[in-house]
Amino acid sequence: MFEAVLLFKDALYGAVVIGLACSVLGVYVVLRRIVFVGAALAQLSSAGIALALWLAGNGWMLGISTRPIALALILTIAGVLFFGAGSGRGKVPPDATIGVTYAVAAAVGIILISKATTGEAHDIFLQGNILGITRGDTMVLLAVAIPVLLAHALFYKEFLFVSFDRETARTLGYRVNFWNLLLYLTLGLVIAFAMQFAGVMLVFNFLVLPAVTGLLVSRSMAGTFFWSIVSALTAAVIGFSLSVPFDLPSGPAIIAVSGVLVLVAFLVRLRQRR
């Protein structure tokens, strides 16, 4: 089994990088109750990938079929600016706006992908193509993930402050809108680059389930981040290692392990309360 996993070691490294970056950002996604923002950004990114494949399949912009990240990034950043700059004071509630974006992006993506004729479009759209990650792809993911993680490490206090005590932060002179937009920007960058390899389901999993595990196990913010990262890396390694020798789809296998870890964390929390 170990030898089989080694054949796809670059893919495993890529899954680990995606899990690491998403698990850190996922803590903010869950605690700020913007889970559906993460889902909407993932769907916008997938719609960008679908658009790239559709254009290539119809003979337009053929070169973009190998790197659909360009259109995925454009749509995701547009969503980041829209959600991050929105004041939420209009007649339409923010949750409704997010829901509309999610539904429309998902529908457009499905329509485009159904007409795409380039490669394994349907599999890429739904599940990504983790096993196809190369060393070069992992380097690209690292080039995105490292600056994002460094920014969150350096400005940990600012991100935390404006996320959970916005009014006090504004009173003390923090540029709340700037830090809020920067958080959304880092989230959008990670989602856009991870989407083309991991697919909607796995990216959403890494944004939510590890953070939930961390919240259940830990009682401090530092502990929540720590256990979120541990949970994501554990799920990525175990799920991927089981999927290769047993011929299972890698993304769903990783998600299944993430679900088991959430259940274990819930049982641990239940035991602590007793």
In order along its 274 residues, the chain shows pLDDT tens digits of 566 666 788 889 999 999 999 999 999 999 888 888 888 888 888 888 888 777 777 767 655 545 677 788 888 888 888 887 664 555 666 777 788 888 888 888 878 877 765 545 555 555 567 877 888 889 999 999 999 999 999 999 888 888 877 777 788 788 888 888 899 889 989 988 888 788 888 998 999 999 999 999 998 999 999 999 999 999 999 999 998 888 888 888 999 999 999 999 999 888 877 6
The predicted pLDDT at position 61 comes to 60
103-134 burial, b at 16+ Cβ within 10 Å, e below that, comes to eebbebbbebbeebebeebeebbbbbbbbebe
CB atoms within 10 A of CB 226: 14
Q: Which of 253, 225, 260, 223 is nearest to 237 (CA)?
A: 253
- Give rounded-to-5 percent helix, strand, coil for the chain: 85, 0, 15
Q: How far is CA 44 from CA 69, 106, 144, in A?
A: 12, 8, 19
Phi, psi angle pair for 43, to nearest 5°? -70, -35
| CA distance linking residue 196 with residue 70, whole number of Å | 11
pLDDT given at position 22: 95
* pLDDT reported for residue 75: 86
State the pLDDT at residue 63: 56
User: CA 82: distance to chain centroid?
Assistant: 18
- In the numeric block, the tokens 């789809």 are attached to 249
Amino acid at site 206: F
User: What is the C-alpha separation between 132 and 15, in angstroms, rounded?
Assistant: 11
pLDDT attached to residue 86 = 60
Q: Which of 139, 143, 159 is nearest to 151 (CA)?
A: 159
Find tokens 């529908």 and name the residue: 107
Tokens standing for 151? 């920014």
Residue linked to tokens 């254009």: 55
CA–centroid distance for 111 within its chain: 23
| Rounded CA separation 40/78 (Å) | 12
From CA 51, how far away is CA 123, in angstroms rounded? 15
The DSSP output letter for 8 is T
Domains of the chain in start order, with CATH, are 2-273 (1.10.3470.10)
Q: Which residue has the tokens 């530092």?
A: 222
Number of residues that this document lists for the chain: 274
For residue 92, the model assigns a pLDDT of 63
In contact, 19 and 240? CB cutoff 8 Å: no
